[in-house]
Amino acid sequence: MKSSENYTKRKKINKRNPRILISRTDNIGDVILALPMAGTIKKAIPGAYIMFLGKTYTRDIIEMSEYIDEFVNWDTIKDQDHQSQIQSFKNLHADYIIHALPVRQIAHLAEKAGIRKRIGASGRIYHWKYCNKVIFFTRRRSNLHEAQLNLKLLRALGVKRTFALHDIIKNYGITPPNILPDEYREQIDNTKFNLILHPKSKGSAREWQINNYAELIGLLPKDKFKIFVTGTEQDNDIIQSGIINKHPEVVNLAGKLSLIELISFIANTEGLVACSTGPLHIAAALGKFTVGIFPPIRPMHPGRWAPLGMNASVLVLNKKCNKCRHTKQCECIQSITPEMVKNKLMEIFKSDPAVVDII
């Protein structure tokens, strides 16, 4: 895969092989749910050259997809002066830009750079100024999944169907890296079910309390499960006090893995439990057994943000709830008990022949 930072010599692409730039400059989970856009385009327009505008932080995720031909680093472009920013967009020779995440500055730069077809959703007023192909739909009030909503933008390319979630899964095109250092690879126990718990979300989601994860560990049979806890360096203190001090047999990997190492580690384990956060979506996309713990509040509910994968599942209370909308403490998500998560794990794992001998 080429990087736009080093790739300077371009050839004009004819109309049968358009250069298409997908723009999604937010976080890991959001980016993963945008990756099927590239696979869908490739299947609809086999000669298309797909570029993906993202942040440095998500580059490793983007470059895992076989359907992405080039990563374009928004962090590099946004630090330039205005004229250099416009020139950077011109240098891409893009025929189309698809604003999967609405960002006013990016929409403005794409228009100034003269990108021929600029596609955005109707919900942003500035798209009416800077885009020349506006797709009518609303994300906030929709009953569709985020990945399905992303694909609605492809109507401008002639892709007009609404995709079932099981069809979207086929268009990830993800191959995980195999770069896990030996010190972490050796921690994996091939005689047990290796389960990752990722309790924190950097504030991006409603979280299941840390004591619930500790209680869940106590419910799982130690002779059958090897437990790992992942997170950032900032999460380490709460993980150490809330989980590791109570269960010293658990392996604490908080702050120890880079993103690409985390992806590789997930690829070498069997399952993951988390709230709505990036590692949950990574694990689901890699086909791992996942349990996502969600609140029922729109638009945070799993109908919009559930992990997509062949072995992905969620737990959410079947109720309408607006009581916790403006508070960080969510009664509905805390009402999901460790026993419920344990039962879900046992249910989905026992149903698979590949792990029945372990469980």
Question: Over the stretch 296-330, which tens digit does the pLDDT of each residue have?
Answer: 888 788 899 999 999 999 999 876 666 666 666 66
Best CA proximity match to 30, nearest among 205, 198, 166, 163: 205
| pLDDT at residue number 329 | 67
CA distance to 1, 143, 318, per residue, from 91 (Å): 17, 38, 50
How much is the average pLDDT of 111-139?
A: 95
Place of tokens 């590789």: 264
Task: Please give the share of the chain, as a percent, with pLDDT higher than 90.
Answer: 78
Angle, CA of 247, 252 and 257, to the nearest 5°: 170
How much is the average pLDDT of 148-161?
A: 95
Mean pLDDT of the chain: 90
- Residue 138's pLDDT band (cuts 50, 70, 90): confident
- Pick 275 or 297 by higher pLDDT: 275
Residues 6+ apart with CB under 8 A from 133: 117, 118, 119, 120, 156
How much is the average pLDDT of 114-120?
A: 97
Return d(Cα 239, Cα 18) in angstroms, integer: 48
Question: Over the stretch 230-242, which tens digit does the pLDDT of each residue have?
Answer: 999 999 999 999 9
Residue 174 has what DSSP assignment? Answer: B
Question: Over the stretch 34-84, which tens digit does the pLDDT of each residue have?
Answer: 999 999 999 999 999 999 999 999 999 999 999 999 999 999 999 999 999
- Residue 202's pLDDT band (cuts 50, 70, 90): confident
Burial class (CB within 10 angstroms; exposed 0-12, middle 13-18, buried 19+) of 87: middle
CA distance to 2, 49, 284, per residue, from 298 (Å): 39, 36, 22
In the predicted structure, residue 159 carries a pLDDT above the cut 80: yes
- Residue 136's pLDDT band (cuts 50, 70, 90): very high
Question: Over the stretch 264-274, which tens digit does the pLDDT of each residue have?
Answer: 999 999 999 99
How much is the average pLDDT of 269-289?
A: 96
- pTM of the predicted protein model: 0.90
- Strand 289-293 and strand 271-275: the pairing is parallel
Best CA proximity match to 64, nearest among 258, 257, 260, 256: 260
- Residue 357's pLDDT band (cuts 50, 70, 90): very low
Best CA proximity match to 208, nearest among 295, 305, 312, 120: 295
| pLDDT at residue number 225 | 94
Backbone angles phi, psi at 286, to 5 degrees: -85, 0
In the predicted structure, residue 12 carries a pLDDT above the cut 60: no
Instruction: Determine the length of the chain.
Output: 359
The tokens for 218 are 């106590």
| pLDDT at residue number 322 | 66
Residue 230 has what DSSP assignment? Answer: -
Domains and CATH numbers, the chain: 2-171 (3.40.50.2000), 182-350 (3.40.50.2000)
